[in-house]
Chain A
Amino acid sequence: EVNLVESGGGLVQPGGSLRLSCAASGFNFSGYWMTWVRQAPGKGLEWVANIKEDGSDNNYLDSVKGRFTISRDNIKNSLYLQMNSLGAEDTALYYCARDTSPCATPVCYDALDIWGHGTLVTVSS
């Protein structure tokens, strides 16, 4: 069964750091881009970052650039999000998702087809 399980969330003080993990199973992890998406309390979904299959390329939401680092370990089938200089605005449920490229010939698209259930990050003093 294809599965993503996030962990590492918790309560952290403003200015602190946290490292989220996402364990993948049931599919060829090294063959997919992977993405982090977050949802602040009472708000909508917000795309945060993604990383290429081999880790050689990545993209970030402007507000997290320079503070967050996405990485992966294809041996451990794991995705990570290192979050530094955290602020209250980073309080959210963080989801990892598989980034797939479904094709409707002759065009291929991007889509987030498998999601975890999220890990909660609370930034508060």
Chain B
Amino acid sequence: AIQMTQSPSSLSASVGDRVTITCRASQVIRNDLGWYQHKPGKAPKLLIYGTSNLQSGVPSRFSGSGSGTDFTLTISSLQPEDFATYYCLQDFNYPRTFGQGTKVEIK
């Protein structure tokens, strides 16, 4: 199975900060990667599919980039509602695999 390694595992940031989360695949996965936001007690939410395509209704402060094995999720200006755990998910092959998550906390 493809291993997805996310970093950092957690970070502390302030409202207005630019935040970057990275995800590295153990093999080439083309652009077959999505990003999800998960808040405690809530259903996970799709943010980005196909590496860089913003899901409908997701604020434009979220963006994704990368290809091959290295991918990045960027939040350009962190908002209070963005404090959550973020996961990457590869949809290149089966079994699908998530990164271990990055918890974004308030500084």
Give chain A's interface residues, CB within 8 Å of chain B: 35, 37, 44-47, 50, 59-62, 95, 97, 102, 104, 107, 109-113, 115-118
Name, among A35, A37, A104, A109, the residue most crowded by chain B CB atoms within 10 Å (CB to CB): A109
A102 touches B98 (CB 8 A): no
A47 touches B46 (CB 8 A): no
- How many residue pairs between the two chains, A and B, have CB atoms under 8 Å in the bound complex? 72
Q: Which of A60, A102, A107, A111 contacts B95 (CB 8 A)?
A: A60
B50 touches A102 (CB 8 A): yes
B44 touches A95 (CB 8 A): yes
0/1 string, B1-32, CB within 8 A of A gives 1: 10000000000000000000000000000011
C-alpha gap A62/B98 in the complex (Å): 14
B49 touches A111 (CB 8 A): yes
Evaluate whether A104 and B43 lie within 8 angstroms (CB atoms) in the complex, with A44-B98, A45-B87, A47-B98 already known: no
A111 touches B91 (CB 8 A): yes
A47 touches B89 (CB 8 A): yes
In this complex, how many residues of chain B approach chain A with their Cβ under 8 Å: the count is 28
A45 touches B101 (CB 8 A): yes
| Residues in B whose Cβ lies below 8 Å from that of A111 | 34, 46, 49-50, 55, 91
A62 touches B1 (CB 8 A): yes
| Residues in A whose Cβ lies below 8 Å from that of B49 | 102, 109-111
C-alpha gap A102/B41 in the complex (Å): 27
Evaluate whether A104 and B98 lie within 8 angstroms (CB atoms) in the complex, with A109-B32, A112-B36, A113-B46 already known: no
| Residues in B whose Cβ lies below 8 Å from that of A104 | 50, 53
C-alpha gap A113/B47 in the complex (Å): 9
| Residues in A whose Cβ lies below 8 Å from that of B42 | 117
